[in-house]
Amino acid sequence: MYVRGYAGDTSGIDKAVQDPFYGFNEGSTHVRVGPDDAPRFHQFESPLLRLHLDEGYHILVEGSQEAYLRSHARTPPDSIWVHRFYDVCADTWSAEPTAFRMEDAAADLRRLVMTLKERCGVPRVHLVAHSMGGLVCRCLIQKVFPERGEDPADHVDKLFTYGTPHGGITFDVGFGLAERLRDLTGFRGADVFGPRRMYAYLTPGAREQDPPPGWSARVMPEGVFPPDRVFCLVGTNPGDYDVAHGASAYAVGARSDGLVHIDNARVTGAHQAFVHRSHSGRYGLVNSEEGYQNLRRFLFGDRRVEARLVGHRPPAGDGRTSWQAETRLSVRGLPVVTHERLAAHRCPIQLPAPDGGAASDAPVHLATTFLRGDAPRPPGSTTLRYALHVGFLAVRERDGVLSFTDHLEQTADFADILVVDVGTDESGPGVWAAWNSEIPGAIWEHRPPGRPVGDEDPRPGVWQADIPFPESVHPILGPGAAIRLTATPWE
């Protein structure tokens, strides 16, 4: 079930409802340089059409999806639906349109969920949402279901959000004045992104009021819905949003997708991926191959592999040096990178400062990927493969200003690629891993040798192994630093 984002005032709503699929049918094109230095065209059809083509989903409309549901007692469970919550708010359909209200849109979403469960004969649905649509879904999960005494996990299996402002929308300019003015006036209904309204529609029994101290919109209350069943796609490219929304991108700031801050686009404890795409538009998150591949694997993958940095001990230095990690994730067979956190995109991973020379006890999450056992593989390969690009950079300051005396821009102090192979039915369970710097020849010729790395977790169905770094990283992170890979089944 797709749930679209914020449309703005009545004119924006009228434009949105004219689209049969609320924008989820829009695709994009990419250009990249081929081996002959000529541009290569890459067409992404749209998330709606690709699910139809790749997964065999049905798009059931026949004039009106509401009329279709009323006239069909049974419908295929592998079907796609759009929550058209803005229709009642459009003045093109009614002389007295209904004003948009988050709680009403979420209650209508519940009715559609219940109808689909009955018609399709399924226990739960997947919710896929862009921008404010993710807040409609969270209002359903955190407020509407609980107020009715219903367990959200009995009705919703997974929630995937593209660029949702889970922590609200804040601005880097104006010292908070713009947010206060927006929330006071409710300009174009944008107060739904402020803390008072968010607290009201995310909290059972709450009304619009200042949230209590310590409350965070990014946190889903414990026991309501497992964050492990939520995936947040985070955009890191505000530049492309500038073309049509220059004022917004300027106000929100550089660490954003042009509308939503990177830090606000995530639910605490949820899975996440960073992609260099903007909030919407020609190079937006929804109409991107990167977004679709993350969506498809989160919904339908059967293996999850998490990578964490463990045992790291950065040098204490003189207190003026801090360390950052960069990561990029490539899955075999895909034409795009599915996750990247780079300093150039203003989203590196900040490593904790050393504490008295001791190795850090807290693992640092680097990346999570979802794989499919039925993915096409090259001849002779019996494993699923992906590559984790890892780099570490020193950031030096002097008197509170970045120091560039011995600086080499965008040059990592250590950089390598961990090639990871995950077992299948043919190869048997396990994880194989090798650093690219130690693989002779081309990566595509590499076949994982021998037995998988030793399993260090006794739990059934879990394969965990620590992969030590090459010795060249020892002066940076210490000899005990490793990447901990944890492979588990994924439903």
The pLDDT tens digits of the residues spanning 456-479 come to 999 998 999 999 999 999 999 999
**Tokens 């300051």 appear where?**
397
Are the C-beta atoms of residues 301 and 295 closer than 8 Å to each other? no
Report DSSP state, residue 355: B
**Per-domain residue ranges for the chain?**
2-300, 304-489
User: What pLDDT shows up at residue 330?
Assistant: 97
Closest CA to 341 of 416, 259, 262, 238: 262
How many residues can be counted in the chain? 491
Closest CA to 165 of 248, 279, 232, 265: 265
Q: Taking the CA of residue 195 as centre, how many other CA atoms within 13 Å lie in the half-sphere pointing to its CB?
A: 13
Report DSSP state, residue 349: E
Look at residue 190 and tell me whether its pLDDT is greater than 60: yes
Rounded to an integer, what distance in angstroms lies between the CA atom of residue 188 and that of residue 442?
55
User: What pLDDT shows up at residue 362?
Assistant: 87
The angle subtended at Cα 327 by Cα 324 and Cα 333, nearest 5°, is 175
Are the C-beta atoms of residues 470 and 416 closer than 8 Å to each other? yes
Name the band, by pLDDT with cuts 50, 70 and 90, for residue 355: low
The DSSP result for 50-113, as a single string, is HHHHHH--EE--TT-HHHHHHH-S---SSEE-B--TTGGG-TTT-SSPPPP-HHHHHHHHHHHH
Q: What is the mean pLDDT of the chain?
A: 91
List all residues 6 or more positions away from 223 whose beta carbon is below 8 Å from its beta carbon: none
Look at residue 48 and tell me whether its pLDDT is greater than 60: yes
The DSSP result for 405-427, as a single string, is TT--TT--SEEEEEEEEE--TTT
Name the band, by pLDDT with cuts 50, 70 and 90, for residue 317: low
Beta strands in 107-194 (DSSP E): 125-130, 156-162
User: What pLDDT shows up at residue 171?
Assistant: 87
Look at residue 33 and tell me whether its pLDDT is greater than 70: no
> What phi, psi does 486 have (nearest 5°)?
-125, 115
Look at residue 7 and tell me whether its pLDDT is greater than 70: yes
Name the band, by pLDDT with cuts 50, 70 and 90, for residue 95: confident
User: What pLDDT shows up at residue 290?
Assistant: 96
| CATH superfamily of domain region 2-300 | Alpha/Beta hydrolase fold, catalytic domain (3.40.50.1820)
Mean pLDDT of 383-410: 87
The residue type found at 36 is D
User: What pLDDT shows up at residue 491?
Assistant: 85
SS3 108: helix
Mean pLDDT of 417-437: 95
Q: Taking the CA of residue 421 as centre, how many other CA atoms within 13 Å lie in the half-sphere pointing to its CB?
A: 25
Mean pLDDT of 86-110: 92
Rounded to an integer, what distance in angstroms lies between the CA atom of residue 279 and that of residue 234?
9
Q: What percent of the chain has pLDDT over 70?
A: 95
Mean pLDDT of 16-30: 92
Are the C-beta atoms of residues 45 and 56 closer than 8 Å to each other? no
Least confident window among 26-30, 248-252, 283-287? 248-252
Tell which wins on pLDDT, 411 or 52. Answer: 52
360: number of Cβ within 10 Å: 20
Name the band, by pLDDT with cuts 50, 70 and 90, for residue 396: confident
- Which residues lie across from 230 on neighbouring strands? 159
Name the band, by pLDDT with cuts 50, 70 and 90, for residue 286: very high
Look at residue 402 and tell me whether its pLDDT is greater than 60: yes
User: What pLDDT shows up at residue 403?
Assistant: 79
User: What pLDDT shows up at residue 181?
Assistant: 80
Mean pLDDT of 161-180: 86
Element (H, E) at 323: strand 321-331
Judge if pTM exceeds 0.85: yes
Look at residue 174 and tell me whether its pLDDT is greater than 60: yes
Rounded to an integer, what distance in angstroms lies between the CA atom of residue 163 and that of residue 205?
27
Are the C-beta atoms of residues 138 and 218 closer than 8 Å to each other? no
Instruction: Extract the tokens encoding 331.
Output: 């899955």
The residue type found at 474 is H
Structure confidence by residue, pLDDT tens digits, 203-257: 999 988 889 999 999 999 999 999 999 999 999 999 877 545 556 767 888 899 9
Look at residue 359 and tell me whether its pLDDT is greater than 60: no
SS3 241: helix
Q: What percent of the chain has pLDDT over 90?
A: 75
The angle subtended at Cα 205 by Cα 203 and Cα 208, nearest 5°, is 70
Are the C-beta atoms of residues 384 and 452 closer than 8 Å to each other? no
The residue type found at 435 is W
Structure confidence by residue, pLDDT tens digits, 80-89: 999 999 999 9
Rounded to an integer, what distance in angstroms lies between the CA atom of residue 200 and that of residue 176?
20
Mean pLDDT of 116-133: 97
Name the band, by pLDDT with cuts 50, 70 and 90, for residue 184: confident
